[in-house]
Amino acid sequence: MAEIQQAYTPMLRGYLRQALRDADAAEDVLQQVWIQVWKRGTSFDPARGSMSSWVMMIARTRAIDHLRRRVPEPHDPAVTSSLIDALSPQDHGADELAERWRMAQLLARLPQEEARLLRMRFHEELSQSEIAQVTGVPLGTVKTRMVRALARLREMIEGDE
């Protein structure tokens, strides 16, 4: 459990802080996540997905539960539904955020230079020619490294699924 917490706490803390927009609430929910991981640890099935996906799903569920508890009890059920939808992490791109954390974790497993090239291409939106110019690496080398990096990334994604 200590190894799992050490590996995934930074990712979960960042996700929860962004989803809940409240650092104290994020820490409370993080503790709930670890309690649930502890209690449900035997239900984790690596054949169904990666450990990071499993703990992220638990964190997402706990975050939604937390946001729902913050909604005041209105008299009109339609108002309740709209308030929950307004506070839901979905509005903050929770699924997108979870996917970003997952991709960041996968990029961290790539060799540093390959991960750097992919970040420049997809986060900074530089062309391969621009990357070659910025890094001083020949264009052919940039292309080769990116193809290799994307192939490794694809293998990791398929391995997680």
SS (H, E, C) the chain: CHHHHHHHHHHHHHHHHHHHCCHHHHHHHHHHHHHHHHHHHHHCCCCCCCHHHHHHHHHHHHHHHHHHHCCCCCCCHHHHHHHHHHHCHHHHCHHHHHHHHHHHHHHHHCCHHHHHHHHHHHCCCCCHHHHHHHHCCCHHHHHHHHHHHHHHHHHHHHHHC
Which residue range is the domain that position 121 belongs to? 111-161
- If asked whether residues 93 and 138 sit together in one domain, one would say no
2 and 67: one domain?
yes
Q: Are residues 84 and 123 in the same domain?
A: no
Q: Each residue of 1-56: pLDDT tens digit? A: 888 888 888 888 888 888 888 889 899 999 999 999 999 888 888 887 788 888 88
Mean of all residue pLDDT scores within the chain: 81
The amino acid sitting at 88 is: S
pLDDT of residue 74: 47
CATH number assigned to the domain comprising residue 126: 1.10.10
- Of the residues 109, 126, 142, which one is the last residue of a structural domain? 109
User: What pTM does this model have?
Assistant: 0.49
Residue 81 shares a structural domain with residue 31: yes
